[in-house]
Amino acid sequence: MTTAPAAPFPWADVWGQEDAVETLRTAVSDPASMSHAWLITGPPGSGRSTLAYAFAAALISNGPDDEHTMRQVLAGTHPDVTALRTDKVIITIAEARALVERSYFAPSIGRYRVIVVEDADRMVERTSNVLLKALEEPPERTVWVLCAPSEADLLPTIRSRSRALRLREPDVADVARLITQRTGVDEATAEQAARHAQRHIGMAQRLATDDAARRRRDDTLRSVLGVRGVRDAVDVAGTIIQAATEDAKALTAERDEAERASLLRTVGVAEGQAVPQALRSQVSALEDEQRKRATRSLRDGIDRVLTDLQSLYRDVVMLQYGRGDDLINRELKPELSALAADWSVARTLVVLDHLTETRESLERNVAALLALESLLVTIASGRKP
């Protein structure tokens, strides 16, 4: 693959999306190509947010030489960019209303006011409707940038008021090359991480640099392949939940502590000092937000496990159709080949369908342990004892 010339600042960190960058650079320089609302879609890890902030930086700056302004935007300190990113399960109506109110403010020092919504797919219908009026009748110098995995994740009324920009999925080799450049890991580790992450750049980087994450993934897949009955299903489901919980705690604990320490410093409470009664409500509000974030982190962790399992049974179908040259989990080829011989294609497709249903159930707040137990019982029912 020929490497494209590096894009100038602030686009340099947008990797592998040359067509999208060119579209947005044209919009910045040509008012006829500009839209008041953009919907950037692409698979997780494709760089939606990175592209959104590069676009915001170019819009707000006073030209390609105004690097100081662009760096302010990218650092999240410019007053004319408002960003909504959430670690919670959904974006609330209150958060959406605050964005809409902000969108009617004139730019303070930049050319535009830019509103970036990183997780637009986490808006329920009532919340999405709050944005409609702002998208229908936007102020002249306000630009909305919504990010989501796909256009189908948003209401048709939102989609119809936005200009869509679809990002491409990078190849495994492309992601592996990037991971090697960023982290210095060897090519074999980078290729395996990119393949196992299914080209998700952030997850590939974590797998490439975190031995424990790689072991957890391998242990989980092997334990699922070993499920033979209801008792196995219950035990493995509990193990998966426990591992996902510990992983979520590891990802959020350091951030939670830093946020709490920062809040206490801001209100003048010294380290180790008891929190005064008048300030306890602020600490409680922070802890409530952190609990919501932990819930989302746990749900995302379980969803990653389900994504890995989908890759496993996708590989089984590939082998059943004689396509063993493009496996995601090629390290497990002997076990997967044995399973492909034991099962019919129809049986494998039943498992894949149940995996999809399980992911949908978790989005509806079904108890994760029960959903996983049901899934693994389905898997066990097709296995030889």
**pLDDT, average across residues 138-162:** 90
- Residue 335, pLDDT above cutoff 80: yes
Q: Are residues 194 and 306 in the same domain?
A: no
In a domain, 360, yes or no: yes
Residue 332's pLDDT band (cuts 50, 70, 90): very high
Q: Are residues 244 and 104 in the same domain?
A: no
Contact criterion met (CB below 8 Å) for 317 and 349? yes
In a domain, 98, yes or no: yes
Q: Are residues 152 and 36 in the same domain?
A: yes
Q: Are residues 50 and 93 in the same domain?
A: yes
In a domain, 204, yes or no: yes
CA distance 261 to 153: 37
Predicted local distance difference test score (pLDDT) of residue 2: 43
Q: Are residues 196 and 159 in the same domain?
A: no
* Domain stops at, among 135, 151, 166: 166
Stated pTM of the model = 0.70
User: Per-residue pLDDT tens for 189-228?
Assistant: 999 999 999 988 888 998 999 998 899 999 999 999 999 9
Mean pLDDT of the chain: 87
In a domain, 3, yes or no: no
Domain count, the chain: 3
Q: Are residues 162 and 249 in the same domain?
A: no
**pLDDT, average across residues 234-254:** 82
Predicted local distance difference test score (pLDDT) of residue 88: 64
User: Per-residue pLDDT tens for 67-111?
Assistant: 999 999 998 889 999 988 876 667 889 999 999 999 999 999 989
Q: Are residues 26 and 98 in the same domain?
A: yes
Domain containing residue 190: 172-209
- C-alpha distances in angstroms, 36 versus 121, 136, 344? 19, 9, 51
Q: Are residues 198 and 114 in the same domain?
A: no
- Which of helix, strand or coil describes residue 37? strand
**pLDDT, average across residues 331-360:** 94
In a domain, 276, yes or no: no
Q: Which residues pair with 37 in a beta bridge?
A: 144
Q: Are residues 55 and 130 in the same domain?
A: yes
- Residue 325, pLDDT above cutoff 60: yes
Q: Are residues 73 and 97 in the same domain?
A: yes
- Residue 282, pLDDT above cutoff 50: yes
Q: Are residues 162 and 180 in the same domain?
A: no
The residue among 334, 323, 328 whose CA lies nearest residue 313 is: 328
Of 80-89, 307-316, 343-352, 366-375, the least confident: 80-89
* Domain stops at, among 114, 147, 166: 166
